Structure 1
Amino acid sequence: MNNTKKPMNSLFLNYLLSNQSKVDTNAEKWLESKNILDNISEISDEINEYLVSIMACWGEIGWCLPKCKERDIKLGKVLIDLKNNISIDEIDEGISECFKEREIEAFTIVVKRNLSDSETRKVDIAFDLYLKKEYYASAVLLAGLIDSTSINQFLKANKKTDNPSQCWKCYGKVIQENFGGNFFSGTFPYNARAKNDKRAKDTIEFFKSIRHDVFNNNVDDILVPLSFALLKFYDDSDWNDKQQKCIPSSINRHWLAHSMYDYNDISRADCIKLFCMLYQMVELYSLL
């Protein structure tokens, strides 16, 4: 019996979908307005918030699309699919079909320019396993590289101070220290536990704090989609799901680290998600 993905049940996702309904309502109001220029400031802010909502929705299913792929994929479609209860597997398959193997290879070339010789060897092995359709083995390596890239970036600026127990917290501290205030006014929820909706509630507050007046620049193009994808990747795990033949709705770091997945649970789409995360992370850190 094959494992099945758990249905999505996310307080943050519900918030994003309700936020989309508000945009739809306002759009009708603007179209009916006789003088649309009177609402231009409100419209501009709503559009930027809508773009952030789209990126956050992509993150909720584990994707952080590089800017170069936006021309190939209808970004707003994921909102419609999620509202219409299209399965995550179907969404993932459609997105992954937009990626060619030479594009994944191009991502690895960029990544290797910013890593040590030891790490670049791991990238090569992960890509080779991916081409051989050994997706589980490739994903384990890629997840470890995402971890080590965040930890090493944190250590560059904090060599003798704090020692976070999780690479997830390393990422959070790096972006809070380098981008907090300029690109978002709140706190990235790297210290919030995923249990009991604590992280989801803090994620909503983080979402609300993202500055729309500085949106559409190199940092936000990476920071926003990557952060929401990592929030999903490092989501909490319920080991009891294993007994019910259920796996997380999107690829999960803890399930990989603790070998809770069956070998065939990991798909080509899962690997592409991780290649995108690693690529976006390296690109973001290169801007520091």
Structure 2
Amino acid sequence: MARKRKGRDISGWLVVDKPAGITSTAVVNKVKWALDAKKAGHAGTLDPEATGVLAVALGEATKTVPYITDALKAYRFTVRLGQATNTDDAEGEVIHSSDLRPEDADITDALSAFIGDIQQVPPKFSAVKIDGQRAYKLARDGEDVELSARALWVEELLLIDRPDADHVELEMTCGKGGYVRSIARDLGEALGCYGHVLKLRRIWSGPFEATNGLSMDQIKELERTPALDDHIQPLEIGLDDLTELRCTEEGAAKLRNGNPGMVFAADGVEYGDEAWASLNGEAVAVGVYKAGELHPSRVFVRPA
């Protein structure tokens, strides 16, 4: 018989302003313990040395993680010009260097090639799987890692600051699966001077912003107290990009059992659209809208 999972049945989102020097998994584990939560996960890994938004999903909110992962997100990062590293960030070994330093205008011109639908090769030291193994593990073992290019949508890529000849600060808004380290590497190659990420901060992800996130010190101060619960945001925030369709008590009961349930139509929703059903403002299910009914794919189960 399976062991009963310990912890409280709490659902929602806790936004963390992740510091450098800690993994995303370690942050989730700390939040889970601090809230005595039964279940927790996160919506998008940050590298250990990266900072900024790490949205931690609790309980039933974990079912909305894909919608946050797919949402646009923004990063502010510093590129060290003149050096390429084997990890494409400051943690790696310098493998190429150059004395060339491009002008600001040259950098701005080069950025245009990285906007829109682009193809991006992930860093060799990344969590991409090759034949079932993580690329970074193979790279650490000295294997020659070959990764295929992947599609990425870049909404915006701006030159924010040029503090000195060796450094440039950029801000990027992109879709799912973007590697900032790859942008720095490829920009350096395009400019002929090499480059790698020196600092990286995710400033927002979907509806969540770093400025509204708790620090790890704040979480430690509030751990295991009702005051930390006050910072939990509703799971429905994870559904912001979907249309909300209200349902009746009868419709909600059917949906909770995994069956199609009647919903009220809303402006803009069409047959076959993905949407979510609510009863008294609380999410009941996510599914596909068909002729007055929602056909559920995810059902939210709340404590009695």
TM-score, reference length from structure 2:
0.22
**Higher alpha-carbon Rg:** 2
Structure with more relative contact order (C-alpha pairs < 8 Å, separation 6 or more)? 1
Higher percent of residues as strand:
2
Higher percent of residues as helix:
1
TM-score, reference length from structure 1:
0.23
